[in-house]
Amino acid sequence: MDFQLSDEHKMIAETAYKLGESFGLEYWREMDAKKSFPKEIWQAICDAGLSGAALPEEYGGSDLGMFEMALIVENLSASGGGSTLGQLFMINPIFGGVTISKFGTDAMKRDMLPKLISGEMNTCMALTESNAGSNTLEIRSFAAQDGDGWLLNGEKIWITAVSDAQKMLVIARTKKIDEVTRRTDGLSMFMIDVDRKGLTHHSIDKLGTRTLSSETVFFEDVRIEPDELVGTLHGGWKELLDTLNTERIVTTAGLVGAGQLAIRLAVAYANEREVFGKTPIGAYQGLQFPLAQTHAEIECARLMNYKAAAQFDAGQPYSSEANAAKLIAAQAASMATERSMQTMGGMGYATESHVERLWRDARLFRFAPVSEEMILNFIAVHDLGMPRSY
């Protein structure tokens, strides 16, 4: 077991950190205030060849692995972006890139992968419905056979960055829920155009992650062409899970970076700020201990995430590690941003200190994309062999 990063890994991490640093915290404050998609930094990430790290070389990627992708996300996040960097990688290289490179047709790969890697195209992923969040298998959006293709009807909620995407990976039932013996049957994945006739979307106002819109989506007789099916008809669930588990690795990397950034800002402030006499507030253990505690937790999540990524890259099972890392990273990043704000007192509440954005953004990940309760359910049932409660 070797815990040292290779020279190549150090170089990748440093490149990502420097790129993030060149945009800086003010860039993110401005984008957040304007609720603008951070397209400038995303384009720079693509131009630097970082978006395609884990995607095939023949389509413009680097054919590295999920481990390298985690390093890139973590460092971009730690240098200013925070957890949003994880989401940017989630929507494009993961939902678009990994799904298409694993399950797409050759034509889809040729058409989409080079555009995703170069930044010419963005994707989004539509799974959640108002009655199917944690209980995903309850989804009711239905794609009915229509000649050689399908007609899609239904609605989705909380879909990230629809307005900035050209393509949507949509998960729908192709067999009604009461026609299947197992709820995992009869689900299919399609890659469709966002601007297609019959597809409408509306923004939801929300607490954080403001640079990426969250939207409700309505499908009214949306025509799906035969060559837009991704993977196996009626057998999309297992294939989707493959994508969702890689999503955990990228999410965790973003949270690890966000936690590191929040702690760094808090320490810098606390070591300067004097309140009573000449002792900086950073000397008070009441402020030190919570930051030290979250630092330790972030480091543990980071190592567990590296293990999940390394196992994915080696073709070994990795979902237990990926879920455990995401659980701890979300809690630790939430606590790191919370304690960072507490450390700064009133200044932590001001947008100019940047911590309030990190705090708003990191909070999301305790219940999305998968909640901590559902991860604990997974650990109890799959890792500990306990009975399922629901």
- Site of interaction with ligand FAD (CB under 6 A): 125-128, 133-134, 158-160, 206, 209, 214, 364, 367-369, 371, 373-374, 377, 390
Beta carbon nearer to ligand FAD, 27 or 367: 367
- Cα–Cα distances in Å, from 380 out to 247, 324, 374, 375, 386? 21, 11, 10, 9, 6
Closest approach of Cβ 280 to ligand FAD, in Å? 37
The identity of residue 84, as a single letter, is T
| d(C-alpha 153, C-alpha 94), whole Å | 25
Beta carbon nearer to ligand FAD, 214 or 331: 214
The answer to whether 115 touches 145, Cβ cutoff 8 Å, is no
- Closest among 121, 104, 124, 114 to 227, alpha carbons compared: 104
Beta carbon nearer to ligand FAD, 99 or 209: 209
Beta carbon nearer to ligand FAD, 143 or 287: 143
Closest approach of Cβ 294 to ligand FAD, in Å? 22
Q: Tell me how crowded residue 241 is: count the other CB atoms within 10 A of its CB.
A: 12
Closest approach of Cβ 156 to ligand FAD, in Å? 7
Residue 373 CB partners (closer than 8 Å, separation 6+): 134
Helix (H) or strand (E) holding 172: strand 167-173
Beta carbon nearer to ligand FAD, 217 or 344: 217
Beta carbon nearer to ligand FAD, 253 or 374: 374
Closest approach of Cβ 65 to ligand FAD, in Å? 24
Helix (H) or strand (E) holding 320: helix 319-344
Closest approach of Cβ 90 to ligand FAD, in Å? 8
Closest approach of Cβ 169 to ligand FAD, in Å? 9
Residue 180 phi, psi (nearest 5) = -115, 150
β-partners of residue 217 are 156, 201
